[in-house]
Amino acid sequence: MSNPVLLLSCDFSDFAIGPFPYDPDHSAMGEYHYYPPKGYRGIWYDPIANYAYQGPSWLITEEDGRKYMEQMRVGSPGPHISCPTLVAGDKDWTDYTVSVRMRSLYTQEPAGILFRYQTSLMHYAFYLCDQKAQLYRIEKDVRTLLAQTDFAFDADTFYTLQAEVSANKIHLSVDGKQVLSVEDDRYADGCIALASYMPAQYTDVKVVCSEPAAQRFMKLQKKKAAVLAEKRAKYPQPKLYKIIDLQNFGAGRQIRFGHLTGTDEMFFLMAQHQKRVYKDRYAVISCLTAVSLQTGKVLWQIGEPKDDPENAYLTADLPMQIYDIDGDGIDEVIVSRNFKLMILDGPTGKVKKSVPTPRNDQDAASLCGIEFKKHAFERLNVDAIRIVNVSGHARPEEIMIKDRYSRLWIYDKDLNFEWMFTEFNTGHFPYGYDFNGDGKEEIFSCYNMVSSDGKLSWKLPIHTDHTDEIIVGKMDPDRDEFIAIVSGWEGFMMVDKQGNIMVRDINGHGQRISTGNYCPEKRGMEICTTTYWGNQGIVYLYDCKGNEIWHREDGGNGNIIAPVNWSGDGTELILLNGNVTYGGMIDGDGDRVVVFPDDGHPDLCAEVIHLTGDARDEIVLWDEHKMYLYTQDRPCECSGKEYVPEKYPHYNGSNYRGEYSFPHWRKR
């Protein structure tokens, strides 16, 4: 390559020795909080999250004045086993040469470099492994060996690995000698990464390309920047509407919205917690605070607040909803606390009705997800609450409660017990919907369809993991309503009302799902999903038939992927998170067309809410200290009719609900 253009060069000399930034708790905070690791990361990011990890994956070490990036995990390829990975570069790179000096500290498992990297589940991999040089194509759950050859290497020597890609041609070399040459058309662009299943050391990472390739890249970047600037000019940008001081009662995404005084005034309910027994599995509400979104004033408070992340940060739901359960026009608060299921008066927070939670009479060893195979308490510590209508009333009047993973119970509006159901796993937030048209809601719980009287109607033929989020509706104009779910490593699925799996894509650990009119030029609705455990932060968009439209991985987490009626013209945007760099709203092409201002706002939590009067949505950003509310910086330019989509009701808030926005118009 004559006159090569340098795209990337890193010898890790800009790092201090010590761990590469990581989440020391290896927690689920990043499922729905923007929760980046703290510390200097340079040009690199780590896309792998694993609750079984301890300590850091990557360590900056030094010898004789030279720095090394050392991978420290011990593992081997297998189902749902993510390769420890460190990513850098630009995903628009096409033709280039990447080289790195690497020492494999255990030669019998793969260690090497990734190239044309699009996500941690879609790339090429050049590995040294068990005295072989290997080239793999990784595509979601399929790991294809494209070529391999014998290659003698040891654990004491640094080798220079080089991958050269040009169009569909791939040439791989070690210490300047070509070892493999392959043609493959799957990936035409992508950045680079370091990756190994066992400890390995890396230094002197370099990416170069030819002058024509560099010119093509710069031309593409310029064109994309111009298109993005034009798109952003068409959309309203966020305008700060209000700041609320959360004093000492702030929390993460433990929030509900409603009209607690029976007026148009909107309130939010924020819950702090204390952890019991084991991690986040038995958390109890320690403080409940009702606050006006209009004035920021506290309406009432139960319990003792504490300004402490231990009380604010939680990786599960807390059992509370705001809903007019008795139909008197004023919302109540339905909550479980200290082994009681209670209905609280909306304006005052006083207890109107209360019953003890159910006794844990079932054999714990026979139930799914009970820690230690033994009940921690004689009475149920409620995990989540949902408002349902299993009796066919004119409006929902029943309360569903559940434990973490195994059982759910139904109570009427007076807190009389109706029935209980258990079958394998409940998932996080079962979905109530009238699937058979009899006027009563059935409940889809994990993989089970539960009849309105608590009997199992059918179940999907899946026996591992659980469903994280669910949406239901007529997303495809050519088909009846169907169920769309993400179920961890069991993937993204589209299921008909009879329990037949129509589409399934094992696309990583599916964590969140939404549907909206993201691409109005296409027929039907689009479906967005994102991942967390294992290979975190991958966002996919599918059409109404379940065909993938695009995928992206930006290096952040906490992607809410909620639909946002931002312009009022019938086109939905997708909210990622509140971060200035990684957050904002993307359109149906995956472009970040709305960005939040760099005004010091919190970015831990994000939510979509309809607040200021017109039909468009507002955005709420907050952490445990402050809440910022944003609206549009210009009035709605639509005339004649107003876009008022059907959205998930506030009275069924959850960190585990799939978000939807079904199109609907009305005259202005």
**Average of pLDDT values for 492-502?**
98
* Confidence category of residue 3, pLDDT binned at 50, 70, 90: confident
Burial of 318: CB neighbours in 10 Å, binned 0-12, 13-18, 19+: buried
pLDDT in tens, 188-210: 999 999 999 999 999 999 999 99
Q: Whole-angstrom Cα distance, residue 200 to residue 183?
A: 28
pLDDT recorded at residue 613: 77
Which residues lie closer than 8 Å to 359 by C-beta, 6 or more apart? 378, 379, 380
pLDDT recorded at residue 501: 98
Give the three-class secondary structure for 296. Answer: coil
Nearest to 444 by CA among 382, 396, 487, 489: 487
pLDDT recorded at residue 396: 98
**Average of pLDDT values for 630-643?**
90
pLDDT in tens, 354-374: 999 999 999 999 999 999 999
pLDDT recorded at residue 73: 97
pLDDT in tens, 132-162: 999 999 999 999 999 999 999 999 999 999 9
Decide if pLDDT at 637 tops 90.
no
pLDDT in tens, 256-270: 999 999 999 999 999
Percent of the chain with pLDDT over 90: 97
pLDDT in tens, 593-610: 999 999 999 999 999 999
DSSP state letter for 41: -
Nearest to 331 by CA among 340, 342, 343, 319: 343
Pick left, alpha or beta for residue 187 (phi over 0 → left; psi -120 to 50 → alpha; otherwise beta).
beta
Nearest to 636 by CA among 585, 563, 588, 570: 570
Which residues lie closer than 8 Å to 363 by C-beta, 6 or more apart? none
The strand order across the sheet containing 510-516 reads 548-553, 538-542, 526-531, 510-516, 659-662, 646-647
pLDDT recorded at residue 667: 84
**Average of pLDDT values for 305-334?**
97
List Cα–Cα distances, 161 to 99, 102, 117, 137, in angstroms. Answer: 5, 7, 16, 17
Element (H, E) at 232: helix 211-234
Ranking 80-84, 97-101, 245-249, 635-639 by mean pLDDT, the lowest is 635-639
Decide if pLDDT at 398 tops 80.
yes
In the chain, where the domains are located: 5-233
**Average of pLDDT values for 509-524?**
97
Q: Whole-angstrom Cα distance, residue 353 to residue 651?
A: 18
User: Residue 9 pairs with which residues in a beta bridge?
Assistant: 206
pLDDT in tens, 405-438: 999 999 999 999 999 999 999 999 999 999 999 9
Nearest to 128 by CA among 33, 197, 176, 28: 197
Decide if pLDDT at 639 tops 90.
no
Residue identified by tokens 């007026």 is 263
* Confidence category of residue 1, pLDDT binned at 50, 70, 90: low
Percent of the chain with pLDDT over 70: 100
pLDDT in tens, 17-28: 999 999 999 999
Q: Do 561 and 606 form a contact (C-beta atoms < 8 A)?
A: no
DSSP state letter for 45: B
Q: Whole-angstrom Cα distance, residue 621 to residue 608?
A: 9
List Cα–Cα distances, 138 to 77, 172, 536, in angstroms. Answer: 12, 17, 16
**Average of pLDDT values for 236-240?**
97
pLDDT recorded at residue 109: 98
Nearest to 37 by CA among 555, 628, 554: 555
Fold type of domain 5-233: Jelly Rolls (2.60.120)
Q: What is the mean pLDDT of the chain?
A: 97
Nearest to 657 by CA among 475, 326, 436, 433: 433
